[in-house]
Chains A and B, each alone.
Chain A
Amino acid sequence: MSAVTGVGLTPFGRLEGQDTLALMSRAATAALADAELERRDVDGLVCGYSTTLPHLMLSTVFAEHFGLAPRYAHAMQLGGATGFGLVMLAHALADAGTARRILVVAGENRLTGQSRDAAIQTLAQVGHPVYEVPLGPTIPAYYGLVASRYMHEFGATEADFAELAVLMRANAARMPGAHLTAPLTVADVLASKPIATPLKLADCCPVSDGAAAFVIEREEPGRDAIRIRGTGQAHRHQHVTAAGPVGAFGAAEAAGRALGAAGVALADIRYGAIYDSFTVTLAILLEELGLAPRGGAGRLAREGRFAPDGALPLNTHGGLLSYGHCGVAGAMAHAVEAVRQMRGEAGDRQVARPALALLHGDGGVLSSHVSLVLEATR
């Protein structure tokens, strides 16, 4: 078993003058302090990628920059699934004894380090370079296609999507460092400008600067910690043209593996940290994971099920939709918040302390799926 013993998170948003390595360093420093460790204690380093610092060897670039000499280093690229993929890797490394104290870190100046067009074009390259990208799609267009089919099959409406954006914004308003905090209503979401139908601006996460980090260690008996109980992945397609039916993208498979490894039933989960690049992403994932009925995620949000005082608090920091999205660290912020809630350290955002949390991330166009089950050991 392994445990998350430290977390670090920067504000997300417009952080002028800080590049990828500066942001990663900031989050790493916070995570080490939280774990009460020094640089020399770290013997494993796993990190993500940065679109503003593309490099063949980002992990060792960071190791040199930050002052680490790990016995294991690795940079992973799984799109939006990378953050939780890194946790799964660190868990496996700790379990295998490959490394004892592993720093997981990612960050980038995705907002201020490049033009908006550059960011949008880089991201659109997850599409097929021959059969999709020449048609001029964007990431919202790929998800707009999925959303159109999802609405057609399950009867969900744009107002249902809007409920999820409203919930994330209300959560972000209580979270220091959130990118978007202006009050948002369902009517505001529906009136926001169209990006790729049926998705409108307020259905889409912002592009942010930011970073996040964790320390993951082999579990020591007697130490209070947030234990990584189970992990799982599933990868069933890359491109939306090659994707299977809506609702069978692999999320359920990944979560089934994580819950199975944990020996935990879905009904015992008390906190959700679910990827929300778009409102439709969150709706489809909640439903495929079994946390909402088909087509019913928006209705459950409207009824309060996912509110901080509801049965299943969700992304209480505001998610990608409002805390912000800076790439790999975007989903890692979900995990930082889950750990804080499980420790009882979420301040005035604190919900009933969850003993078990389910985390789920996806990369590409609902292509790569990673699930984690975390447990508070006291």
Chain B
Amino acid sequence: MSPDLLDWTAGAERLVFEACGGCGRVRYFRRPFCPACGSQAVEARIASGRGTVYAATTVVRAPSAELRAFAPYGIALVDAAEGFRFMAHAADGLRIGDPVATAFRTFGSRLVPFCQPAGDP
């Protein structure tokens, strides 16, 4: 158990997922139990950030004045190598099926995961 393993949502440059010690399932939204089997043997793990683009959009109309300056920006759903799916910012031109690696960047007042084509320096 690593309940205090911080990730990008807390400002740390990391993508973290949880694996269940009971049934082995993995998931992205962290919680102190496994919603599939009920086990409380939940282990937080640092993800590689490697994955494949599952879906992608470019947001042209941002939701707020604060974020309008950043538009357009890409958002993707990425299937991580470790078996969970996560939402991230996406580099221009990323397409479904593209392999990606994850970096982090600031967006408004927040740190967010930013997926780029895998293999880029």
Do residues B88 and A241 form an inter-chain contact, with CB atoms below 8 A?
no
Interface range, B side: 20 to 34
Does A138 sit at the interface, judged by CB under 8 A?
Answer: yes
Residue of A whose beta carbon sits closest to that of B54 = A149
**Distance from B86 Cβ to chain A, minimum over Cβ atoms (Å):** 7
Q: Which residues of A contact B12 (CB under 8 A)?
A: none
Known: A135-B89, A136-B75, A136-B108. A117 touches B65 (CB 8 A): yes
Q: Which residues of B contact A131 (CB under 8 A)?
A: 9, 28-29, 86-87
Q: Give the number of residue pairs across the A-B interface with Cβ within 8 Å.
A: 101
Do residues B67 and A136 form an inter-chain contact, with CB atoms below 8 A?
yes
Q: Which of A61-69, A162-170, A188-196, A285-293 contacts B (4 or more CB under 8 A)?
A: A188-196
Give the secondary structure class of B's interface.
strand
Does A301 sit at the interface, judged by CB under 8 A?
Answer: no
Q: Which residues of A contact B72 (CB under 8 A)?
A: 194
Do residues A137 and B65 form an inter-chain contact, with CB atoms below 8 A?
no
Does A295 sit at the interface, judged by CB under 8 A?
Answer: no
Pick the residue among A134, A152, A197, A241 that contacts B85 (CB under 8 A). Answer: A241
Do residues A134 and B55 form an inter-chain contact, with CB atoms below 8 A?
no
Residue of B whose beta carbon sits closest to that of A121 = B63
Does A318 sit at the interface, judged by CB under 8 A?
Answer: no
Known: A148-B96, A195-B60, A196-B58. A141 touches B65 (CB 8 A): no
Q: How many residues of A contact B (CB 8 A)?
A: 33
Does B59 sit at the interface, judged by CB under 8 A?
Answer: yes
Does A240 sit at the interface, judged by CB under 8 A?
Answer: yes
- Using a CB-CB cutoff of 8 Å, which residues 141-162 of chain A contact chain B? 141, 144-149, 152
26 A-B contacts (beta carbon < 8 Å): A131-B9, A132-B87, A135-B75, A135-B112, A136-B59, A136-B62, A136-B107, A137-B59, A138-B61, A140-B59, A141-B59, A144-B57, A144-B59, A145-B76, A146-B55, A148-B55, A148-B56, A149-B96, A152-B96, A152-B97, A196-B59, A197-B58, A239-B29, A240-B77, A241-B29, A241-B77
For the complex of A and B, the 4 pairs showing the least CB-CB separation, nearest first, are A144-B57, A145-B55, A149-B55, A197-B58
